[in-house]
Structure 1
Amino acid sequence: MPSASLKTTRRAALGALAAAGALAAGAARVEAQTAPKTFVLVHGTWHGGWCWRRVADRLQSKGHKVYAPSLTGVADRSHLLTKDVNLTTHVTDVVNLFKWEDLKDVVLVGHSSAGFVITQAAEQIGTQVASIVYLDAFVPQVGDSLISLANPGPRKALEEAVARGDLVAKPVPAAAFNVNEKDRAWVDAKCTPHPLAAVVEKVTAAGSHERIARKAYIRASGFKSPVFDETLARMKTMPGWKTYEVASGHDVMVDQPDRLAEILLEVA
């Protein structure tokens, strides 16, 4: 029969093994949480990659890789605007970024009208996306266009622009999106006309985004939008979706960069 001292030694050894296992598991969790991630941040109508700067800085400071491209025809690529720039062009912008940068296990984020872009892009790059995030954004179905889903006010303005045969949709003031007052002048100065063909073209394929493992919808509660309220309510009932509400104007990346970066890391 083992002596009392031998039993004590065995218990101590087992305890040490258990403690070592717990430390290893904890270290693995920390490593998983802090392992570098890749984020692709896609802006909405009238904006450009510039609007993500604050969020990108926060993510990059933690060692993550961030791409925030400006879509063709706006911001630093406004010189490429033609009548042929449409939703397909913007989808190709994102798809080609994935292709030439060999991106995998990406957190793909679309703000506002970029919900159209990331939804259709997912048809081609869905297997390379680990998490997809709709930031106060449209989640369209086949046959939808920005004009068909827009809130009544913007929809009327867009329809009038189409009727006139305009090439672009003029920017809406930042105040209309309830951007915080100190940043409104900056946002207004940066926004550029948006190719009208991009808001007219209908989604031709959708569904692959639902097969992405991690999905999230973030609603900016400081921006009035019946469309986004309805979308949030629908996403809350959808299996596999996480939903968040942030006290912010529509440009969450401008108003609440710390909170947004925190959420993006949580869903990564």
Structure 2
Amino acid sequence: MTAFVLVPGSFTGGWIWQEVADRLRASGAEVYPVTLTGAGDRRRLAGAGTDLETHIEDLTQLIDHVDAPEVVIVGHDYGIHPVLGAAGRRPERISRIVYLDTGLPQDGVPALALVPDHELRDRLLDPAEPTGDDWRIPPPSPDGWQIWGSTAGLPAEALSKLSRLAAPQPRATLTRPLRLTGAVSGLPTTGVLCTANGSTIARVEAMVGFGDPRFKALTEPGVTFFELDTGHWPMLSAPDELTRVLLAAAAGEGHRVGARSGEQPSHLRPFLLDVAERPRVRTGRVDLHLPEAEHPCPAVLLVHGGPIPAATRPTPRDWPSLVGYARFAAALGAVGAIVDHRLHDLADYGRAAEDVAEAVELVRADRRVDGERIALWFFSGGGLLAADWLAAPPPWLRCVAATYPVLGPLPNWGSMDPRFRPSAAVGSAGGLPIVVTRVGLEAPAIAATVEEFLAAAADCKADVEVIDVPNAHHGFETLDRIDEARDAVDRAVRAVVGHLQG
């Protein structure tokens, strides 16, 4: 007999699991939907001293009273923090921990560190002692849940119920650091990723490939993953699908992450086109791949995506895909430039924008470059950095390109500086040519930002060329060695360089 302990996230209680709990019980499992102290119908039990330790004790006591020999404990959102705390105290009782659309808590770090809205984080992590009712955080307004996660797939009545039954979250539950024990690291785990909230298995595999030490544990044999094509509250938007996933997770099923022995990470595999090597000059954060020419040539500056861990090696300017694009541009008579900008965290977009602007000036000032003919080409999460250039295109900017771009903040990124919204900026682009490469097998949350941008571009009659690659994935240049992918790269490079030569 398996018992499922279902732990809710911020502002919610055991009521949120009702539909999933009913389905799990129908399968023959024991089910314990948890209402933590201060949540749901236990909100009156909370006080200024209610913190993460209170919730860990809630779960520890519950586990002690479960008779089933196997306990699968599920943590949604904030709920994973007390789950890990309790599992560390009763590891012998836990058969699997399920991370339901949540981040990876670190020892000594509070739950609030995983909240994507950095302004909210900074405000709530203020060291000043809370006074009066400040010891609790009011729940979101009916139209404010998006700050905490995507509401995609939620029926109107479910969203209304979420708002109606939400309770204030005791502030100290989010600000008290989590203390992990070594016992937790040996327990089997499953990650359930909600793709409409911006999380995908492909993204996890990419982070593992970047060498981020925080993700190394995800390659262990006892770790599995599932995806759900819905938003951040799947227990309300997709209860049938979530139930099936939880039962499969309890059985040890799911996708396993990690490259096969000797296999390179996807971003380091060879470029899909054979492009001749060109002379390369490295200055600061910028590499220039030079064409065969005795006169100044136009230039294409390639801007990588992210966030990418700061310790990633090699850095993006040595990745086969970007080097391949730069060499291809050089073969067509343009300088192919690549910048290593510092987008290491969602809060780094401002710094990355400064790095790109500095790289532009460096490239334009180079004696081998015609500074009046420049194109900027943005990839993946670097797409948000295009907004500055669309909002006020200088006369020397002849083209902006974007390949499998993120063109708006993803749902699990929280609120961001409105400066980085290409959909709002494109209305000021005038006649600037824009080349967008759109992949058909894109993550739903990213695809939605592209469609929003294209709709805004159509409304203002911007000059946009869309190159579709229906059977290609995000990062297809080293993943999809198919003719339509090769054709798309060829067409995109020739289009961008063509705008520089016209």
- Tell me the TM-score normalised to structure 1 length: 0.78
* Structure 1 segment 244-255 matched on structure 2, within 5 A: 244-255=226-237
- Over residues 1-57 of structure 1, what are the superposed CA-to-partner deviations in whole Å (9 max), with x where a residue is unaligned? xxxxxxxxxxxxxxxxxxxxxxxxxxxxxxxxxxx4211000011110011011001
Q: What's 2:71 paired with? A: 106
Higher helix share: 1
> Structure 1's 257 and 98: CA in aligned 2 closer, same or farther, altered over 3 A?
same
CA distance in 1, matches of 2:139, 2:183: 31
Q: What's 1:190 paired with? A: 165
CA distance in 1, matches of 2:249, 2:99: 12
CA distance in 1, matches of 2:218, 2:185: 14
Report SS of the residue matched to 1:261: helix
For 2:53, the aligned partner's letter is T
Q: What's 1:262 paired with? A: 244
CA distance in 2, matches of 1:56, 1:215: 20
Q: How many residues align?
A: 230
How far off is 1:135 after superposition? 0.3
> Structure 1's 121 and 248: CA in aligned 2 closer, same or farther, altered over 3 A?
same
Is contact 2:11–2:169 with CA below 8 Å preserved after alignment? yes
1:83 aligns with 2:48: yes
How far off is 1:232 after superposition? 9.1
Q: What's 2:150 paired with? A: 178
How far off is 1:85 after superposition? 0.6
* Structure 1 segment 1-268 matched on structure 2, within 5 A: 36-151=1-116, 152-159=118-125, 165=131, 166-172=134-140, 173-176=144-147, 177-179=149-151, 180-182=154-156, 183-212=158-187, 214-224=188-198, 233=207, 234=215, 236-268=218-250
Identity %: 29
Structure 2 gaps of 5+ residues are 208-214, 251-502
Is contact 2:111–2:178 with CA below 8 Å preserved after alignment? no
> CA RMSD, aligned part only?
2.4
Higher strand share: 2
For 2:85, the aligned partner's letter is Q
CA distance in 2, matches of 1:257, 1:224: 19
Larger relative contact order (Cα-Cα within 8 Å, sequence gap ≥ 6): 1
Look at both structures and tell me which one has the larger radius of gyration over its CA atoms.
Answer: 2
CA distance in 1, matches of 2:39, 2:97: 23
Q: What's 1:25 paired with? A: none
CA distance in 1, matches of 2:206, 2:73: 18
- Over residues 168-217 of structure 1, what are the superposed CA-to-partner deviations in whole Å (9 max), with x where a residue is unaligned? 011123344332242211111111100001111101223322212x3101
Structure 1 gaps of 5+ residues are 1-35
Is contact 1:42–1:110 with CA below 8 Å preserved after alignment? yes
CA distance in 2, matches of 1:184, 1:161: 33
- Tell me the TM-score normalised to structure 2 length: 0.43
- Over residues 131-178 of structure 1, what are the superposed CA-to-partner deviations in whole Å (9 max), with x where a residue is unaligned? 110001232121110122321254245336967541101112334433
> Structure 1's 192 and 236: CA in aligned 2 closer, same or farther, altered over 3 A?
same
For 2:109, the aligned partner's letter is D
Q: What's 1:33 paired with? A: none
CA distance in 2, matches of 1:46, 1:161: 22
Report SS of the residue matched to 2:163: helix
Report SS of the residue matched to 1:222: helix
CA distance in 2, matches of 1:40, 1:80: 21
CA distance in 2, matches of 1:97, 1:110: 14
